[in-house]
Amino acid sequence: MELSSFIDDEFASAVEAIYNSKGRVIITGIGKSAIIATKIVATLNSTGTPAIFMHAADAIHGDLGTILNDDVVICISKSGNTPEIKVLVPLIKNGPNKLIAITANKSSFLGQQADFVLNAYVEKEACPNNLAPTTSTTAQLVIGDALSICLLNMKGFSSKDFAKYHPGGALGKKLYLRVEDISSVNQKPQVTKDTDVRKVIVEISEKMLGVAAVVENEKVVGIITDGDIRRMLNKHDNINGLKAADIMTHAPKSVESSMMAVDALEIMEANEISQLLVHEEGKYAGVIHLHDLIKEGII
């Protein structure tokens, strides 16, 4: 049977209970269900709904103090009749907390005691002996993800919010890292139109970005890359007297310092280039390189 058919009014009421709660979501279970519980906790936390895992066995040995008055408790159990669940559920029901069950057995002890029952019924396990929790734990996980996404939508959880909770990962960096965050720590290679090409070569080599901006009155008027230097050497046997203006490329590709780094990457890829000059309020501000984006995990 498809799980989508189990998304009913009971499911909607459970989502509303969590959304309207002033507390956290406490998720408990035992065995494989406990492992699924920890994953659902992680998903809720990363999508804006504070959640804590409480092992069902540990709960009856002191961890019951994890639950505060405003918290909503989710208990995960395929059978709904395990000994630990039968001990734990009455203790939870003694308090003011709403209890949500994720179970394959709505008529179980857990199903009968819960305020809301989320049906995670499966016909059989993928295990050939129909014993090892496989299909059932997948169903539990899907129900948990569905809860998380419904709450995400109700809270208006945005990509900026996601980045706030994932600052160290590549996904988060794509959502918050700006060009200036990278270019500001790079060296700032620049020459003028009248700079001798030998000094241009030195500037490019010393700043190690494969490029130098040609700047006048703090504004970019051109760019010289490693490729421009190679083409110059192929074209001229004698480079005496050559200036930056003689070999530079006019109107180079550039980006505003406030642009998202991932957008700068798209420009590089579209133009098959490795660097972009950076400007801030029309003034030259530095360089962002493809290698910077690789280092940051954007690629």
pLDDT score for 7: 85
Closest CA to 232 of 205, 202, 203, 197: 197
Q: What is the CA radius of gyration of the chain?
A: 30
How many folded domains does the chain comprise? 2
Q: b/e string for 261-291 if b means 16 or more Cβ within 10 A?
A: bbebbeebeeeebbbbbbbeeeebbbbbbbe
- Same domain assignment for residues 152 and 187: no
State whether 147 and 183 are in the same domain: no
Closest CA relative to residue 99, chosen from 88, 273, 248: 88
Contact between 72 and 21 (Cβ < 8 Å): yes
34-37 long-range contacts, CB within 8 A, separation 24+: 34/76, 35/137, 36/76, 36/137, 36/140, 36/141, 36/144, 37/74, 37/76, 37/144
Annotated binding site for Zn(2+), which residues?
A: 55
Q: Check residue 157 and give its pLDDT.
A: 81
Q: How far apart are CA 111 and CA 118, in angstroms?
A: 9
**Residues 15 and 142 reside in one and the same domain:** yes
Range of the domain at 49: 3-157
CA-CA distance, 255 to 173, in Å (whole number)?
A: 18
24 shares its domain with 89? yes
- Domain containing 100 — which CATH number? 3.40.50.10490
Judgement on whether residues 213 and 131 belong to the same structural domain of the protein: no
Q: C-alpha 74: how far from its chain's center? A: 25
Continuous segment of H or E residues that includes residue 51:
strand 51-55
Quote the DSSP letter at residue 62: T
pTM greater than the 0.75 cutoff: no
Note whether residue 165 is domain-resident.
no
Separation CA 281–CA 273 (nearest Å): 23
Comparing CA positions, the residue from 145, 171, 186 lying closest to residue 276 is 186
For residues 153 and 252, membership in a common domain is answered with: no
Maximum separation of any 2 CA atoms in the chain, in Å: 92
| 148, 29: one domain | yes
Question: Torsion-angle region of residue 48: left (phi > 0), alpha (psi -120 to 50) or beta?
Answer: left
- What pLDDT does 237 receive? 85
Same domain, 199 and 112: no
Residue ranges of the binding site:
55
Residue 13 has a pLDDT of 96
Mean pLDDT, the chain cut into blocks of 10 residues (299 residues total): 79 96 96 96 93 94 93 97 94 95 96 96 88 91 95 85 64 77 93 95 94 95 94 90 94 93 92 94 94 84
User: CA–CA separation, 177 vs 298, rounded Å?
Assistant: 9
15 and 153 inside one domain: yes
DSSP tag of 248: P
CATH of the domain at 217: 3.10.580.10
